[in-house]
A = this chain, B = another copy of it.
Amino acid sequence: MNLPTKGEDIMRRLGIALVGVTLAAGLVAGSALAQTKEPIAKEPIALRDMGSFHIGGRVVEVTGQPIKEIVFTRGGVPAKMDPNGKYQVEQMYVQYFLPQSRKGRLPILLWHGGGLSGVTYETKPDGGDGWLSYFVRKGWDTYVSDAMERGRSGWTTSFGEPVVLPLGDPWERFRIGPAGSWNDDKAKRTTYPGAQFPVEAYEQFMKQGVPRWLTTDDPIMAGYLALVDKVCPCVVLVHSQSGAFGFKALESRPDKIKALVAIEPAAGGDRNKVASIKSTPVMIVYGDNAKDHPRWSKIRQGGVDYAGALKAAGGSIDVVDLPDAGIKGNSHMVMMDKNSDQVADLIQKWLAAKGLSD
């Protein structure tokens, strides 16, 4: 048994059966997979259906604007465009994959973090399988959405000026390396010891970024609630910015969200509403180096304090610091780290222990 005793304790506390040798062997195999560059023959994915839809949003009206003449395509035929009229805004894009052999008892919804889109859960920047494939292969009906304003959801100029992160910013903000470890020169970048983020694919990760705004929480939330109302009861898995949306959704629809998994949530829920969500099990997961990071230590402490309040009200919440469970080196982008399957296994086992998966 390779796991430290503390890790075993945490897993027992989480109600996860430890299958000694099997689990240890799984960790070794996962690590070997992450390191190899060779394509690996995969089990086929059998879907009973896949598809997408847009949900939510509203219609706004624009008046008093002049008619424009537009050449849409260079060398194309000019078109008159009257910008006045009604516009569809604030809808949300959702893509779903429904496995033929369903083992998750409910759909699982994967919500991404700030400045990103549902791509967060697809193929990892280093080309490995992400959590979308993981959960589909585990037999979950899996829904990946782009938050209102992000990606395929569209956006409108009425949101004002967006925020976009410069290339080096997430290197430290997302705890790949400590303060001062970023360098434009790849060879001069450093990381935390044993960092799991695939640093050679960092530029590839940054291609996933999309503009975001700081003024749009309410319509983002409206989109998520429309989704919950359409496809739940369900499990919701949130990351970073969407942590706040996940807890708000649970507070609004405690009967529809049957488990909430919050990966490094930017914020917890409302302490005045803990009693209302106590029948839903919640799991909060933090990666490595969160406790000592100047900003993440405060974010994590907020989550820990919130968990205490929820527990005191009779709620069911597990806070997992991955290093304490023997899983070291994870960045904020846990689902893209080299050992992402190992963390997903922990979540999958927690969900199974809650009776939500075979």
Contacts and interface: CB of A to CB of B under 8 A. Distances in A.
A184 interface: yes
Interface string A322-355: 0000000000000000000000000000000000
B244 A76 contact: yes
Nearest to A151: B152
B83 A217 contact: no
A298 B207 CA distance: 39
A37 interface: no
A214 B49 CA distance: 37
Interface in A14-72: 42, 44-55, 57, 59, 62, 70-72
A145 to B, nearest CB: 12
Nearest to A136: B50
A203 interface: yes
A305 to B, nearest CB: 13
A53 B125 CA distance: 8
Interface stretch (A167-175, A188-196, A249-257): A167-175
A211 B50 contact: no
A57 B206 CA distance: 11
A155 interface: yes
A155 B210 contact: yes
Contacts of A187: none
A114 B184 contact: no
Contacts of A74: 217, 244, 267
Contact of A59 (B51, B79, B119, B167): B167
Interface string A146-170: 1000011011110001111111110
A70 B211 contact: no
A143 interface: no
- How many copies altogether? 2
B169 A51 contact: no
Contacts of A119: 52, 54, 93, 152
Contacts of A45: 46-47, 49-50
Nearest to A72: B114
Contact of A71 (B95, B122, B165, B214): B214
A117 interface: yes
A295 B155 CA distance: 28
B48 A214 contact: no
A82 interface: yes
Given A75-B244, A76-B299, A81 B211 contact: no
Contacts of A129: 51
Given A82-B166, A146-B152, A42 B52 contact: no
Interface stretch (A84-92, A277-285, A311-319): A84-92
A206 B42 contact: no
7 contacts: A45-B46, A45-B50, A50-B97, A77-B302, A93-B119, A151-B152, A157-B211
Interface of A: 42, 44-55, 57, 59, 62, 70-77, 79, 81-88, 91, 93, 95, 97, 100, 114, 117-119, 122-123, 127, 129, 133, 146, 151-152, 154-157, 161-169, 173, 184, 203-204, 206-211, 214, 217, 241, 243-244, 266-267, 295, 298-299, 302
> 7 tightest CB-CB pairs across the interface, nearest first?
A54-B207, A85-B166, A51-B123, A73-B266, A91-B207, A154-B210, A151-B152
